[in-house]
A and B are shown apart, each in its own frame.
Chain A
Amino acid sequence: MMIYIDPVTYINLLRFTKVDTLSPTSEPSAKFTYWHSTRLGKSQGEISQQQEITRQAVSKAIKSQERDILERMLNFAQAIGVLVEWYDVSLGILIGITPQLENRTCLIFIDDRNQVLVFYDQEGYTSDKFPNEMAIDRINETLHTNLEKILGFKEIATKLTDR
């Protein structure tokens, strides 16, 4: 189980959302692959050489994908009633507040298969040593980072932007 989501929000999500589903998507598009490569640190020049297309085409595809990602993340947040606090399109990550869950923070993340993952901050709600372990594992796996398991969502955002 990769998604932490409470039953009421889950029912609302299934009832109302028109933006995405929780099922795995088909093969990621070329646009997504270019964007994902840049989020892993590859330059546009490297991608254009690898794919044998012009640099302008890569730039255009990434820009278009970034708009798609932003719209998708914001739509998803709106559908599950999350108030957006911060996002980074180049990383595919969004952090917001969930008023219906006692203002618990929520992290929306686009993984390497173009799936939207939703994690709720477990800090203070569980007795686990590493409450956000699952979210951090997925981020580390996708972005090839080495974030410590003890971090909260705010620290994740700070560390990723400082990367």
Chain B
Amino acid sequence: MSNNKYLMKVNRRNKIRWVAIFGYFLLILAYLVYTYVNDFNEELIIGYLVLIFGGFFFILIVLIYPYFFPINRPVIEDREVIDLTEQYTDESYFEEVKLRFLYYMTLPFIVIYIVLAVVMIFQGSTSEALIFAVVSAFFLTIFVLFEHMTIIGYKDELVIKFGPFEERIMINQIISARPTAIKPLRTYLGYGKRIGTDGTIGYIAGAKTGVRLELQETKSYVLTSLQPKKLVAFVRSRKNS
């Protein structure tokens, strides 16, 4: 597939994904408004459940589809056309990319729910305090798990750790490693381990730059990195040694 076709297909699929998500939420919103205005009856409840679950599965299919039907871009092997790779002398590579977005999304909730739990204890309602404590613990767990992503480069493999996810990529399987721009929301619909519009597996943390690894058997990874040039230099130096 030519690169122009790749770009066009990716953009088309991006639009489909976003329209599906917005459409789903608009449908739910419309239904909520309708049921609020009219009296609640059994038929409406069944309709609502069908909408929620049916829509959820539809969205799931839309999100997972690129993984099974990836859009392959032309792969050019490292150093094939032009070689400007910089020297990488260290034996290993280590990088930690923080997910700052999570600080704003979880820390306020953790504090609020802890405060509420303490207030409830003083008011004597232990069951409510317990609920608030559990919710706070849930947010705390998410924060601790996804606060940062780690990329560790060893002699013959790259290890990516992000929360409960861990991926080992053998360096001799990598055909090409190149710096790339990352649009976390537009292409990957969020952060964490994600499936991109073109079917790439993305480890997306808090930066808009990263490295795209093209592997044998048309598998591709996109890793967020604050220093893509250094990571590329490491991969290429290990490949050659």
* Inter-chain contact B180/A84, CB cutoff 8 Å: yes
Chain A proximity mask over B180-203: 1 for CB below 8 Å, otherwise 0? 110000000000000000000000
The segment from B1-9, B59-67, B117-125, B149-157 that touches chain A is B1-9
Q: In the assembled complex, which residues on chain B have CB atoms less than 8 Å from the CB atom of A157?
A: 84
B7 to chain A, nearest CB (A): 5
Task: Give chain B's interface residue range (CB within 8 Å of chain A).
Answer: 20 to 34
Measured CA separation A99–B6 after assembly (Å): 11
B9 to chain A, nearest CB (A): 12
A121 to chain B, nearest CB (A): 9
Query: Does A128 reach chain B (CB closer than 8 Å)?
Result: no
Contact of B178 among A9, A84, A103 (CB under 8 A): A84
Q: In the assembled complex, which residues on chain B have CB atoms less than 8 Å from the CB atom of A153?
A: 82
* Inter-chain contact B181/A98, CB cutoff 8 Å: no
Q: Which of A71, A83, A98, A157 has the most CB of B within 10 A?
A: A83
Measured CA separation A86–B3 after assembly (Å): 19
Contact of A103 among B76, B208, B228, B229 (CB under 8 A): B76
Contact of B4 among A12, A71, A75 (CB under 8 A): A12
* Inter-chain contact B11/A16, CB cutoff 8 Å: yes
Binding site secondary structure of chain B: mixed
Query: Does A100 reach chain B (CB closer than 8 Å)?
Result: yes
Q: Give the total number of A-B pairs whose CB atoms are below 8 A apart.
A: 67
Q: Which residues of A, 54-70, contact B by the 8 Å Cβ criterion?
A: 70
Query: Does B74 reach chain A (CB closer than 8 Å)?
Result: yes
Instruction: Give the number of residues in A that approach B within 8 Å (Cβ atoms).
Output: 27
Q: In the assembled complex, which residues on chain A have CB atoms less than 8 Å from the CB atom of B3?
A: 81, 98-100
Query: Does B46 reach chain A (CB closer than 8 Å)?
Result: no
* Inter-chain contact A99/B76, CB cutoff 8 Å: yes
Contact of B6 among A9, A75, A81 (CB under 8 A): A81
* Inter-chain contact B209/A74, CB cutoff 8 Å: yes
* Inter-chain contact A87/B82, CB cutoff 8 Å: no
* Inter-chain contact A85/B4, CB cutoff 8 Å: no
B: residues with CB less than 8 A from A are 2-4, 6-8, 11, 73-74, 76, 81-86, 176, 178-181, 208-209, 228-229
